[in-house]
Structure 1
């Protein structure tokens, strides 16, 4: 019998994040030279802190520099023991602490066995081992993606016959995880989309909806990734969006109380799906504007979440229905104004574009008044004189023209050519 002491592996201290004390999955360094796990330090910065947690030095910049050398050392160390970083969603816990990588000939045998099964539930063990193989390396994922007939077998399992309630969700989760892992290695993404949306029809989407509703966190993230990868054109996006229950579930997954990684994956998927006008209108009717407004006001929203929420709002603001809902919800407009600064350049650009669309391009009076109440003029001035892009600066100038006409305040005499901010 193996004692617990024999299985103990000492973790090098510099592999652990100073905040969470977990092994770092994505090490990044601050300007102070201290390295943290990206998710931990991002939460610290998102809370409004402007110091280094370890040294308490003031940060002259909040840029995060990836520590690629340390990331590579952690990866080599983890692979040598087959011990995945704690809480990592990129790995599934192995059956034993020192489980060796699966040999390629065994994987070929497992793939061959899949052809003999008609349902994923009867091949759960094989699917689990193949998923483990895919997680081990980029080369392994390429091998699976290029294996003749393998992707078709996965799609057939996903679109298997039977009602959604009768399907084995555990086996379907393994199928989706494999598809999510290998999707970037599939040469013809349009062919994958055709297999899933036309040949297997609504059955594949029914399985994906089932996982999105009842699956684990990592399988829900994988589901959003697969849906995004097969939304290759307008027809595919509409087919996905019109699957009953799918868009509402993706929107439900963006609620502030959900896991941040699920929120980000769901928003990314919704952005990919929202190109066609009819999808934008449907999102508006499903209450997307109100949900996105909540994310903007949620103090726990990550930078990525705020960026994606603003990007989706920018998308729906291009249709009349979207602009109407944004203008009706004064809290949404003020939330956009509040996110003009101190988030990121991408967030600022999305926020300005929304305001420019509703206030300047379409001259929505309600939105203009909401911007004024939220002290938007000052923020627009600050943003205009920051290191923003020429496009953002021009939109700010256009907005100032609108407010200069509509306001009797000191802004009416503001010269947009000045290089400083006039005192109020």
Structure 2
């Protein structure tokens, strides 16, 4: 029997077009369409004279066994049974607890034990609840993370399994502040292991690590400790590439937003080239709503410091990309975008930024935004921006004085 948790995908051409089941005895009609023998025989016995799939009239009701397809189905079926027979049986909660006890007693088998616990946690919410409520389990995981030894590959494997378990039970473990203290404010060097996972781990473990870092960035001190770990900001920024898996991009963005509140962290991100990377990512038309919102949120955060504003204004892609997202993504994205433009055009009075806004239809968008149901703060920032462009004789806003005065805000 096929186990449900293997999520078997049946090739579409193995299924009978009538029954939609895997064909046991595939036969082909004169139309070239293949059916399971029993299904097409029933169709013909009812007096039908057409091909069920194409509705073509059958010149002959004879069918020919499709031996090639039958062999393919047999090979696939045999492979499937070998896969099911070799799959480990699911753990029971008691077996999971026994594995946890074994991790302490047998260091040589702890990687295998952790791998089994990862599978156990993935199986159900109930299993994750079991692990999250075991006294001392999270502390043990943090101890493992902070005392990883051996070769680099062995350290990475152990650390990534630990991170995936930590992430899987994060929602069940309600004491995030305690977890933050255990990882960041003790003598354990957990961040080195977490950085190793971000650099060398599998996609799932890298996402898990970024999410855990986001969760433990509880206060200003913890945010600084994380951001000050050498190489950590760099690797997170590196994942903000359009070619990166979207789930990894989302996790990296969320983590960076969580740790970037302190000014020195924002300045450091700017120095690492985050503005250019974010501008390129924002310009990608394929980015999701959530991703676009997070990119704009990060850029808004960096626009609050002088270094960030200088980089935003100096990047030829960034400001046009910001303008392009206003009124096109979501209310949240629009608010972040207006805040950035207000910072660089109104507060910073950067001429290049103002020209980029005017040259990318930004004035029209700001005028339309003021007629929408936006928040009072966005409305005020939009009015400030309009005033900047109104007094600029080189801008194209002069046309609005004669052609669209009915939507002018003053």
Residue 95 of structure 2 aligns with which residue? 106
CA contact (8 A) 1:280 1:315 kept: yes
Residue 334 of structure 2 aligns with which residue? 348
- Distance in 2 separating the partners of 1:369 and 1:222: 42
User: Per-residue CA shift, 1:193-230, capped at 9, x if unaligned?
Assistant: 111113244x3111111111111111111110011111
Structure 1 unaligned residues grouped into runs of 5+:
14-93
- Of residues 275, 280, 303, the one that matches 1:289 is 275
User: Per-residue CA shift, 1:164-189, capped at 9, x if unaligned?
Assistant: 72643223211111101111222221
Residue 271 of structure 1 aligns with which residue? 257
Residue 24 of structure 2 aligns with which residue? none
* 1:134, distance to aligned residue in structure 2 (A): 1.7
- Of residues 115, 128, 134, the one that matches 1:147 is 134
* 1:133, distance to aligned residue in structure 2 (A): 2.1
Runs of 4+ in 1 over 6 A off after TM superposition: 7-11
* 1:148, distance to aligned residue in structure 2 (A): 1.2
- Distance in 1 separating the partners of 2:370 and 2:169: 43
* 1:409, distance to aligned residue in structure 2 (A): 5.6
- Of residues 237, 259, 272, the one that matches 2:223 is 237
> After superposition, where does 1:314-333 map in structure 2 within 5 Å?
314-333=300-319
- Distance in 2 separating the partners of 1:305 and 1:10: 30
Residues 163, 131 of structure 1: CA spacing in aligned structure 2 closer, same or farther, 3 A cutoff? Answer: closer
Alignment of 1:205 with 2:191, yes or no, is: yes
Residue 262 of structure 1 aligns with which residue? 248
Residue 26 of structure 2 aligns with which residue? none
**Residue 185 of structure 1: SS of its match in structure 2?**
coil
CA contact (8 A) 1:159 1:204 kept: yes
- Distance in 2 separating the partners of 1:3 and 1:272: 43
CA contact (8 A) 2:131 2:137 kept: yes
Structure 2 unaligned residues grouped into runs of 5+:
13-82
User: Per-residue CA shift, 1:227-280, capped at 9, x if unaligned?
Assistant: 111111111111111111111000001111111111111011001010111100
Higher relative contact order (CA 8 A, sep 6+): 1
TM-score w.r.t. the length of structure 2 is 0.74
- Of residues 115, 132, 138, the one that matches 2:125 is 138
CA contact (8 A) 2:233 2:269 kept: yes
Residues 200, 135 of structure 1: CA spacing in aligned structure 2 closer, same or farther, 3 A cutoff? Answer: farther
TM-score w.r.t. the length of structure 1 is 0.72
Residue 176 of structure 2 aligns with which residue? 189
CA contact (8 A) 1:114 1:153 kept: no
* 1:116, distance to aligned residue in structure 2 (A): 1.5
- Distance in 1 separating the partners of 2:7 and 2:341: 56
Residues 234, 409 of structure 1: CA spacing in aligned structure 2 closer, same or farther, 3 A cutoff? Answer: closer
Alignment of 1:214 with 2:192, yes or no, is: no
Q: Which has the larger radius of gyration?
A: 2
> After superposition, where does 1:42-61 map in structure 2 within 5 Å?
none
CA contact (8 A) 1:295 1:305 kept: no
